[in-house]
Structure 1
Amino acid sequence: MMDELCLSPRQFGDLGSGFFWLFAVGGIFGGFLADRFSTRVLIVAMVLVWSLCQLPIAMTASLGTIILCRAVLGLAQGPAWPIAVHALTKWFPNDRRNLPIAIVAQGSVIGLIVASCR
């Protein structure tokens, strides 16, 4: 990517960190939104934003476009964990929540392990 877009190491670092600029903000707001809207509506909204963030990158590959799309993607993905945990706390009684939440928590780690084995 650095060669294709003629990026300096700093620009590549900005591009990589663009996702996390709004990730934490999205996580905080996601927790508040989970108390006010249905989990299904929030998940659909996150999927729509994730999908729409990919369109500009497919059409143009400028540094600014990619950083902007990654920042918006971070904002939309930040609420994923709080919304998932909120849903699990509604779906499972207090004495049965530990296992489902642990499975969700380990899913991303196991996904990285599986992806790295290919």
Structure 2
Amino acid sequence: MTIEDCYDGDEITMIVIRFSGKDLKAGFEAELSEMITRQAKRWVERGNRPGHSACPIHVTVARRHDLPTGVRVAIEDDEDYILYIFDKDVISQEGADALRRMLAGRTLTWVRGAGV
């Protein structure tokens, strides 16, 4: 898996994630990249600003077979966690584990943005 962050000045415009062919259903990379980008824009770098927890954000990537019809991925997040739930047919267990590791490393300095 590779990841590329695209910026316009200081603002992130797209997070491009590329999986090996066996880990993600064909044609789903663009949708996943857009979803991860939208979700990441809800968060901001924590830095050393007062009032922000130094605790890491817990990231979980789960695979399920019982998502509603037409739903391939769902995201739930709060100030101290992010949960990604994928339809089992969309991502392999190895792909889900790799995505969780990558996102857990990237979110070490994030907090929810104001008003989101």
Higher relative contact order (CA 8 A, sep 6+): 1
After TM superposition, the score normalised by the length of structure 1 is 0.28
Higher-Rg structure is 1
Higher fraction of helix: 1
Higher fraction of strand: 2
